[in-house]
Structure 1
Amino acid sequence: MVNWAKLPVGSSFSAHYHETMQEIFIITKGKVKIIVDGKAYILQEKDLIVADPKEIHEMQNIDRQDVEYLVFGISQGIEGRTVVE
């Protein structure tokens, strides 16, 4: 799975995890705070981070502009189900 996404100013996506899918996030515009497995990181343009299967992760736009990012989801088979806590 490959997605391009936009996170509007002041927005976030909720904490969740994937049972078997690894996700790679690449920030292409803006600045975010992302929490992966309980650790917080500040990412900006050209930074990337990996969320392994079963690692709870969430992202918040901390910039004054919309954030844009690419996310690559790597899963074995069709079992990459999303679980929201």
Structure 2
Amino acid sequence: MGKTNFDNYLEEQLQDQEFDARFAAAGEAWDVALQIAELRRKSGLSQKELAKLLHTSQQQISRLESSTYEGHSLSMLRRVAHVLHARVRVV
């Protein structure tokens, strides 16, 4: 299958270093959000239950699981990982 108009457009936009950096950052935020949500679900916890274990609010867990949130702190990620029996790995 050939490239779509969107594929061509994205390829062109990625030539701009600023756009490329923003695009990469958005992908990283998406990955973090998905991993937290998946780990929580595999642990059988609701957002509210995870929040209680972390002594934080359900709203904070919702933010962590949002692909648009970019305020993840390493300390909070470590706390989440510890409660969910996972580890934080930065590559």
Instruction: Give the shorter-chain TM-score range.
Output: under 0.3
- Structure showing greater relative contact order (alpha-carbon pairs closer than 8 Å, 6 or more residues apart): 1
Please identify the structure whose Cα radius of gyration is greater: 2
Q: Which has the higher strand share?
A: 1
